[in-house]
Amino acid sequence: MPDTAIGRRRSLLNETRCQTCSLSSLCLPLALEVEDISQFDAIIRRRAPLKKGESLFRQDSPFTSVFAVRSGSLKQVTTEGSGDDQLTNFFLPSELVGLDGIDEERYPGRVVALETTTVCEIPFDRLDALSETLPELRGQLYRSMSKELRDDRRMMRLLSRKTADQRLASFFAGLSERFRRRGYSPYSFRLSMSRADIGNYLGLAVETVSRILGRFQTQGLVAVSGREVNILDLDALLELAEEEGAH
């Protein structure tokens, strides 16, 4: 292979294997035996990285695959009939994108990279076939779906009852937990999403998000500098996130 930029990227793509991927303990192959992982790995399509702002797929395009995020992050945006965009999810490394397209065979929202992002494409028909022979894979697929359902219901509770402070506290506590699960610091991370994105996701005006971030800093809960977040008092944040209703 010639030593060019494209060539290097190709070889990198080819080198990436589930067997060596640092996320395999969080991703679909989690429950698989070593010999089974290679079967799973064989159905994966590696793709060139998405640039910031590039779409992984469009809303209502035909459902063919689910995608595992390998690095970077994405947002899912659903355009309502009224033309308003509603941000319905953020995806971080090891998380699966596209599970909500299975039943209607189309993706219910477009998914856009928030930064340079790599994903592993898992064609669904092959995944489906493979999971018949690998019950552990099927189990992991169910667990992923169940978790997504649970997260959505939590989000519904949040959107229907919580105050702006509670929403933002929940959001940060949730991000912290997701980083912790991946072996990163739960206290210090970088937001790939803008405040407008966070506001849209949480049902808050961007002014409200900025104001509450300011308040959290005054209260010593977090320190925010640009998009760098330091969680200073995770317990207080969790407590606030779990509170019910207003004062």
Partner 1 sequence: MSAPAVIDDRPRGSGGMDSGDLLRRLGTAGPRYLSYPTTEQLTADFSESDAAAALAQSNLSGCDLALYVHVPFCRHSCHHCACLRVTSTDTRHAEPYLSRLDREMVLTSRHLNATREITQLHWGGGTPTFLTLNQMGDLIDRLDARFGLSGSRQRDYSIKVDPRDTDVFTLRHLQALGFNRLNLAVLDLDSHVQQAINRHQPRVLTEQLVDEAHRLGFRSLGLELMFGLPGQTPDSLAETLTQVIAMAPARLSLAPYAHRPERFAAQRQIRREALPAPEQQQALFDRALTLLVEAGYVHIGLYDFARADDSLAIAQARGTLTRGPGGYSALPPCDALGLGVGALSRLGDSVSQNASTLADYEATLDAGRLPLARGRRLTAEARLRAHVIERLMCDMRLDLGALGPAFGLEAGRQLLPALARLHSAERDGLVTRHAQQLTVTPLGRVVVDRLAAAFDAHAA
For β-strands 96-97 and 65-71, DSSP reports them as antiparallel
Residue bearing tokens 């800093």 = 217
Q: Given the complex with partner 1, which of 50 and 204 has the nearer CB atom?
A: 204
Which helix (H) or strand (E) segment holds residue 137: the answer is helix 135-161
Binder of partner 1 out of 33, 85, 128, 207 (CB under 8 A): 207
245 binds partner 1 (CB under 8 A): yes
Binder of partner 1 out of 96, 193, 212, 229 (CB under 8 A): 212
Which of these segments, 8-16, 33-41, 123-131, 198-206, binds partner 1 (CB under 8 A)? 198-206
DSSP of 141-206, one letter per residue? HHHHHHHHHHHHHHHHHHHHH--HHHHHHHHHHHHHHHHHHTTS-SSEEE--S-HHHHHHHHT--H
Which helix (H) or strand (E) segment holds residue 40: the answer is helix 34-43
Touching partner 1, residues 157-176 (CB under 8 A): 160-161, 163-165
Q: How far is the CB of 197 from partner 1 (least distance, A)?
A: 15
Binder of partner 1 out of 39, 208, 217, 219 (CB under 8 A): 208
Q: Given the complex with partner 1, which of 85 and 207 has the nearer CB atom?
A: 207
203 binds partner 1 (CB under 8 A): yes
246 binds partner 1 (CB under 8 A): yes
Q: Given the complex with partner 1, which of 55 and 210 has the nearer CB atom?
A: 210
Which of these segments, 44-52, 146-154, 186-194, 239-247, binds partner 1 (CB under 8 A)? 239-247
Contact 62, 38 (CB under 8 A): no
Which of these segments, 78-86, 97-105, 129-137, 202-210, binds partner 1 (CB under 8 A)? 202-210
Instruction: Give every CB contact of residue 159 below 8 A, 6+ residues apart in sequence.
Output: 167, 202, 203
Kindly determine how many residues on this chain lie close enough to bind partner 1 according to the rule CB under 8 A: 15
DSSP of 63-120, one letter per residue? P-EEEEEEES-EEEEEE-TTS-EEEEEEE-TT-EE-GGGTTTTB-SSEEEESSSBEEE
Binder of partner 1 out of 47, 211, 236, 238 (CB under 8 A): 211
Instruction: Say how many C-beta atoms besides its own lie within 10 A of residue 180's C-beta.
Output: 14
Chain contacts with partner 1 (rule: CB under 8 A): 160-161, 163-165, 203-205, 207-208, 211-212, 245-247
